[in-house]
């Protein structure tokens, strides 16, 4: 017989056990005792359950299972590890592993039941099954090729329908075989790199591989892979996007880009050659005109020379505009920025037109405020000259052209207004497009290529400004307005004192001319000789270097495009020659782009002058240096 101490101990074990324990009468099924684990799991209090039958308290999900268990117990057999489901007070189903035996308590047959709550585990397993089912559905329904490959054997464990269609193999042909066996890998090093990345970080993102289908067609894939556990073994899940067409388009775009770059390079080279080939004869003509101007005394011949000079200057300007437009549109012009007074610049442009005799038939006025902008003076002078040239071209004799400058808000505004023919509405904003001109008669008495205003727009926009025009139509003149960001500084006061004295005009220099073009060389020699200079000539770099040693000129005018050894090399050799180190080297050439100037200075030249050079300016340059 159990003593009181043992009974107390068993009661403590019963109460403190984490296992759900119940004691029920075998005959009437009423609850005799429950432990705290039962109360915690079901949500009932002890008063709500003691003395009540089990069916009243715990609703068995499967009553037939409970009756079958009672029958086993009444037959004297134990119940071991039976999964049972019952419902708690709040309606939650509890899944438990049940073990039960018949025991005698106070001489009364009772059922001792131990229940291990496995609800969380069962729910987790159910959720896992649902997740696996959803994964399988998504895996097979995904329109992108997906594969699962064993990390141990590298064989396909599963593939989706998209992978089957993409590869050309059947599902049966793919499963259990490796990618290498199937000949998928075009570049084995790609496979090795992918495996290395997977082993290092467990994943590979945006990995490009070349893949071969069953028919032998090669495709480009962008693959994302992830290490996963699949059916108890480590595996790799991969999803791929076919980027073959995209890569083909990229290759085509790259080919077109390279082709465009080649065309641009070819165009730039052509422009450089065109510049050289056009400027060289213009330079020879200009030099010859300078010589004739010093020799001719007849007024009629002087008039003829004036005609040739003006037309040569016009041809030079057309060449400059053509080359400048090409350079601006290809981004080859770099601005040399400094504070520029627009009013002073406009006055200088008008003064130049008057000195050239181009404004004698028009009333040309400049007025306004002194306003500074941050600009390239040479390029802004081009802008104003082109606007003035356009106004003079379309304004008949006796007409007026007015240039004004003013500050409007934060802008410096320059206007060129004329009383000429005006611009028809049909031309509209196309007036700034390349090669666009007002209709002309067959004689094309106004000339031009339709470049001037296009160049104005491009140069103004390079300065961060804008240009516009207004016209009331035919016969009512036109007005062009240039707006540039004004500098927030005061313009420097103009010089009011006497102009600096001119350098002595008869300063004699020793000058060497290195020029392979015989006409240009002889014309320049005569021009400088008549100007009072001591001149020697050479036709190539070899004789030029000899003359630099023996003649030891103060100034050397060197053409760049010399036969054999070019002018750049000659300049570098001169700087290594003791007798020529002090000679002032001038690159006098038809190559006139910014990079040509930079290349000349880097080679050792002191100055760069682009043909044709105005004879008076060249003589002044020689006197000053």
Comparing 284-293, 369-378, 382-391, the range with the smallest average pLDDT is: 284-293
Instruction: State phi, psi for 422 to the nearest 5 degrees.
Output: 80, 175
* Per-residue pLDDT at 594: 72
Sorted by where each begins, the domain ranges of the chain are 4-117, 138-242, 257-328+505-625, 334-485
DSSP 255-283: HHHHHHHHHHHHHHHHHHHHHHHHHHHHH
Query: In this structure, are residues 537 and 512 in contact, taking their beta carbons and an 8 Å threshold?
Result: yes
* Per-residue pLDDT at 269: 66
β-strand 411-418 against 478-485: which pairing, if any? antiparallel
Q: Answer with the residue of higher pLDDT: 502 or 293.
A: 293
Level-2 CATH architecture, domain 4-117: 2-Layer Sandwich (3.30)
Long-range contacts of 89-96 (CB under 8 A, 24+ apart): 89/42, 89/43, 89/44, 90/43, 92/119, 93/61, 93/119, 94/41, 94/42, 94/119, 95/119, 95/122, 96/20
Residue 448 has pLDDT above 50, yes or no: no
Long-range contacts of 84-93 (CB under 8 A, 24+ apart): 84/60, 84/115, 85/60, 85/61, 86/58, 86/59, 86/60, 86/61, 87/58, 87/59, 87/60, 87/61, 88/41, 88/42, 88/43, 88/58, 89/42, 89/43, 89/44, 90/43, 92/119, 93/61, 93/119
257-328+505-625: CATH topology is Rossmann fold (3.40.50)
Query: In this structure, are residues 56 and 29 in contact, taking their beta carbons and an 8 Å threshold?
Result: no
Q: Answer with the residue of higher pLDDT: 346 or 63.
A: 346
**Strand partners of residue 415:** 404, 481
* Per-residue pLDDT at 214: 92
Reading the block at residue 173, the tokens are: 């042909």
Q: How confident is the model at residue 327 (pLDDT cuts 50, 70, 90)?
A: low
Smallest Cα–Cα separation from 340: which of 309, 295, 371, 308? 371
| Mean pLDDT of the 580-601 span | 85
Smallest Cα–Cα separation from 423: which of 363, 472, 483? 472
Query: What is the maximum span of the chain, computed from C-alpha positions, in angstroms?
Result: 159
Q: How confident is the model at residue 311 (pLDDT cuts 50, 70, 90)?
A: low
Q: How confident is the model at residue 331 (pLDDT cuts 50, 70, 90)?
A: low
| Mean pLDDT of the 372-388 span | 89
Q: Is the full-model pTM beyond 0.85? A: no
* Per-residue pLDDT at 429: 63
**Percent of the chain clearing pLDDT 70 (strictly above):** 82
Please check whether the two domains, 4-117 and 138-242, share a CATH topology.
yes
Q: What is the CATH number of domain 334-485?
A: 3.30.565.10
Pick the CATH number of 138-242 from 3.40.50.150, 3.30.450.20, 3.40.50.300, 1.10.260.40: 3.30.450.20
Rounded Cα distance, 21 and 40, in Å: 11
Rounded Cα distance, 553 and 536, in Å: 9
Rounded Cα distance, 546 and 403, in Å: 53
* Per-residue pLDDT at 360: 75
Give the pLDDT confidence of 94-123 residue by residue, as tens digits. 899 989 999 988 888 999 999 999 988 988
């Amino acid at each position: 017989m159990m003593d009181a101490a043992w009974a107390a101990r068993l009661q403590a074990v019963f109460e403190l056990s984490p296992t759900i324990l119940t004691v029920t009468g075998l005959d009437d099924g009423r609850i005799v005792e429950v432990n705290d684990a039962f109360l915690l799991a079901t949500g009932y209090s002890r008063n709500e359950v003691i003395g009540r039958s089990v069916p009243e308290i715990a609703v068995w999900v499967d009553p037939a299972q409970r009756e079958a268990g009672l029958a086993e117990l009444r037959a004297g057999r134990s119940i071991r590890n039976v999964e049972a489901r019952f419902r708690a007070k709040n309606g939650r189903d509890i899944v438990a592993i049940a073990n039960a035996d018949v025991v005698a308590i106070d001489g009364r047959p009772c059922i001792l039941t131990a229940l291990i709550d496995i609800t969380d585990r069962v729910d987790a397993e159910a959720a896992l099954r649902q997740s696996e089912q959803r994964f399988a559905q998504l895996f097979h329904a995904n329109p992108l090729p997906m594969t699962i490959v064993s990390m141990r054997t590298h064989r396909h464990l599963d593939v989706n329908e998209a992978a089957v269609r993409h590869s050309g193999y059947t599902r049966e042909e793919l499963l259990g075989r490796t990618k290498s066996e199937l000949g998928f890998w075009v570049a084995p090093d790609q496979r090795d790199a992918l495996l290395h990345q997977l082993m290092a970080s467990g994943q590979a993102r945006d990995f490009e591989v070349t893949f071969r289908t069953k028919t032998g067609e090669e495709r480009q894939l962008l693959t994302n892979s992830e290490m996963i556990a699949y059916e108890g073994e480590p595996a790799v899940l991969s999803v791929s996007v076919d980027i073959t067409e995209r890569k083909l388009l990229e290759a085509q775009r790259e080919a077109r880009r390279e082709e465009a770059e080649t065309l641009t390079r070819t165009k730039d080279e052509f422009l450089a050659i065109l510049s050289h080939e056009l400027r060289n004869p213009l330079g020879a003509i200009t030099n010859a005109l300078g010589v004739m101007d010093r020799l001719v005394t007849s007024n009629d011949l002087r008039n003829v020379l004036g005609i040739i000079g003006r037309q040569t200057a016009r041809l030079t300007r057309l060449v400059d505009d053509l080359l400048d437009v090409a350079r601006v549109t290809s981004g080859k012009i770099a601005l040399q920025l400094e504070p520029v007074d627009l009013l002073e610049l406009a006055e200088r442009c008008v003064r130049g037109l008057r000195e050239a005799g181009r404004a004698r038939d028009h009333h040309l006025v400049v007025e306004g405020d002194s306003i500074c902008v941050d600009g390239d003076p040479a390029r802004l002078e081009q802008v104003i000259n082109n606007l003035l040239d356009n106004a003079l071209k379309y304004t008949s004799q006796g007409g007026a052209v007015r240039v004004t400058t003013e500050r409007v808000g934060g802008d410096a505004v320059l206007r060129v207004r004329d009383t000429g023919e005006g611009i028809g509405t049909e031309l509209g904003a196309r007036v700034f497009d390349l090669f666009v001109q007002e209709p002309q008669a067959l004689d094309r008495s106004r000339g031009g290529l339709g470049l001037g205003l296009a160049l104005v727009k491009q140069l103004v926009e390079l300065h961060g400004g804008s240009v516009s025009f207004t016209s009331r139509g035919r016969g009512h003149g036109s007005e062009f307005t240039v707006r540039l960001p004004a500098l927030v500084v005061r313009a420097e006061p103009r010089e009011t004192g006497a102009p600096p004295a001119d350098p002595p005009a008869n300063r004699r220099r020793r000058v060497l001319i290195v020029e392979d073009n015989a006409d240009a060389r002889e014309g320049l020699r005569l021009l400088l000789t008549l100007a009072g200079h001591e001149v020697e000539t050479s036709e190539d770099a070899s004789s030029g270097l000899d003359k630099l040693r023996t003649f030891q000129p103060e100034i050397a005018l060197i053409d760049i495009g010399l036969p054999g050894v070019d002018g750049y090399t000659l300049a570098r050799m001169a700087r290594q020659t003791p007798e020529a180190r002090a000679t002032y080297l001038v690159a006098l050439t038809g190559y006139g782009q910014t990079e040509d100037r930079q290349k000349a200075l880097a080679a050792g030249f002191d100055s760069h002058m682009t043909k044709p050079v105005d004879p008076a300016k060249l003589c002044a340059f020689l006197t000053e240096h």
